[in-house]
Chain A
């Protein structure tokens, strides 16, 4: 027994001797490597569970190296044993915060997704109801009232849903901003997850389709259309930022790549419909007053159409009766262009970059050219000048007549006295 004990003590001594035969530099290098390894595992952690394991590893590392604290403090100055672990613990807390935020956002996106689905379903029903009411040939006051109510509800629903989908897209955009360079496999998986969780492609398609449908079934005011155009521009701007990156991420997934291309096409369709509706409404204003303008769908075309119309009017000026020519001019300018197009539509069109200030100036120049021929300002002035002159002459004659009368009386009195 005693012999065994002596052997054990010797063995312990030899082992401890081996243990002590270690370079201090090596110990410090091991410490640094362990700290770096924990640092990178914090960075690469993908869940709160992994972070809990890392927290345990930090404690284990602390215990493993606490015996060398003094050496480490000196060797890694200005850092120290404690500051190294404090740094790790801080990084761990920050990362935990990220995950908590991500969990909250995921829940939020989940709720948003449900809301989007609810609103989409509701919109579908509203669209069907509006269609039925529109088909009714005889619309009584009650039908019109319920139609208006449905349209208002649908409009509000579409706006809400657009905002929700924008929220999902924005969160994805933030993800891309986080990874500005080429994405690695992990980052791609993260994006796939988000796209799937938010049912993103379907929701974007649905948003665009509903907006287009809404335009088809309702009568929109210039303000409504201006608002929708802005909405389109904002959404399209975000999509143009995110779309190419998504296409890159989904390069090897053919069905998704096709869906991305389809969304691109749908955005173009949405824009085309909006432009068509807006320019169509402007054209309709002229048509309603029996002014037949050639169709136009851009600021440039609008200028050309007005120019061509004015040219025709000037050409036919001699052929037409003067009254007819003036009637066309005043209808065009006073009843349509200066009444509605210029104050209501042109600011919206310019704001949405559908026409320019230069286009507006060109149209004004055409109208001025037309006015010079049909209702020249000089002609009107001569009438006034002539009229004024006649009045002045009449007044002078009146005064002269008034003055001459007493002289005549005096002369006749004299003649009578003689």
Chain B
């Protein structure tokens, strides 16, 4: 019985290792600087350097409950080391953290910066262990999990 258990365990181990997905680690997706992108008439922002575009109308609806007033608005976007996208903008009270999925982005976290007042001139900076959000003289340290400080 003991031998049987060992053999079965061994076979299971082999089976599990064979079924596990190939992963490449560690990876660093960090953008050195944020990007300030204007929303076009279709509600899309287009990033030239990393060559992608994404529809951001739902963020405006989520933030302002209005998905029509977006044309020409500027969004700040940066990607952290782990590969999460941080998006915010002027008058936003939140920073939206997205993870890439097939043909889109999925909300990972919505970080509340202020319950009452929107951001006046937000900007992201890439830092070693976090994303720095600055707004006038205020500074916030963000990760995909939330506000660090």
Contacts and interface: CB of A to CB of B under 8 A. Distances in A.
Note whether A and B form a binding pair: yes
A21 B134 contact: yes
B137 A24 contact: no
A77 B137 CA distance: 29
B32 A26 contact: no
Contacts of A22: 134
Contacts of B36: 25
Interface string A17-34: 110111111101000000
B94 interface: no
A18 B33 CA distance: 19
A266 interface: no
B33 A71 contact: yes
B32 A23 contact: no
Contact of B33 (A17, A20, A21, A24): A24
Nearest to B34: A25
Interface in A76-101: 77
A23 B125 contact: yes
A17 B125 CA distance: 15
A72 to B, nearest CB: 9
B136 interface: yes
Contacts of A21: 134, 136-139
A74 interface: yes
A75 interface: yes
A352 to B, nearest CB: 62
Interface residues of B, number: 14
A75 B125 CA distance: 12
A22 B32 CA distance: 15
The interface residues of chain A, by DSSP majority, are classed as helix
A74 B136 CA distance: 25
B35 interface: yes
B137 A17 contact: yes
Contacts of A77: 32
B126 interface: yes
A17 to B, nearest CB: 7
A17 B123 CA distance: 15
Contact of A74 (B32, B125, B137): B32
B123 A23 contact: yes
B137 A18 contact: yes
A26 B137 contact: no
B80 to A, nearest CB: 14
A28 B134 CA distance: 16
Contacts of B137: 17-18, 21
Interface string B17-47: 0000000000000001111100000000000
Contact of A24 (B126, B136, B138): B126
Contacts of A26: 123
B35 A25 contact: yes
Interface of A: 17-18, 20-26, 28, 71, 74-75, 77
30 contacts: A18-B137, A20-B139, A21-B134, A21-B136, A21-B137, A21-B138, A21-B139, A22-B134, A23-B123, A23-B124, A23-B125, A23-B134, A24-B32, A24-B33, A24-B34, A24-B123, A24-B125, A24-B126, A25-B33, A25-B34, A25-B35, A25-B123, A26-B123, A28-B33, A71-B32, A71-B33, A74-B32, A74-B33, A75-B32, A75-B33
Interface of B: 32-36, 123-126, 134, 136-139
Given A23-B134, A25-B35, A71-B33, 11 more contacts: A18-B137, A20-B139, A21-B138, A22-B134, A23-B125, A24-B32, A24-B34, A24-B123, A71-B32, A74-B32, A77-B32
Name the 8 nearest CB pairs between A and B, nearest first: A23-B123, A74-B32, A24-B33, A75-B33, A24-B125, A75-B32, A25-B33, A21-B134
